[in-house]
Amino acid sequence: SAMLMAGLDGIENKIDPGEPMDKDIYDLAPEERAAVPLTPASLEEAMDALEADHNFLLKGDVFTEDVIEAWISYKREEEIDALRLRPHPHEFAMHYDMV
């Protein structure tokens, strides 16, 4: 329902989605690639973006502020912080591997 509400918000506010990308982004020249809009690179960036802009989700009483805040808190505590507090497998191999 959040994705549907985001789409409806784009229609209502006449947000231009841009032209369709029919090229392999990785084959673009650096200056062309720089013009391609970016999505959040991590869950943390996505939660920051949601925290900054979620008024569209409050329309029509589909979501409440409490639900959105709880979702953001859950994702930060149970997923983002949980990963941040543990070593990456590569770090573990570098420092603790006895092979």
Counting the structural domains of the chain, the total is 1
pLDDT (0 to 100) of residue 43 = 96
Q: How many whole angstroms separate alpha carbon 99 and alpha carbon 97?
A: 6
* CA-angle at 18, arms to 25 and 62, nearest 5°: 110
pLDDT (0 to 100) of residue 55 = 95
Phi, psi of 25 (to 5 degrees): -55, -35
Structural domain range at position 7: 2-96
> DSSP assignment of 46-78, as one string?
HHHHHHHS-HHHHGGGSS-HHHHHHHHHHIIII
Which portions of the chain are predicted below pLDDT 50?
none
Cα 93 to the center of its chain, rounded Å = 29
Q: What is the pLDDT of residues 54-63, one digit of tens each?
A: 999 999 999 9
pLDDT (0 to 100) of residue 99 = 61
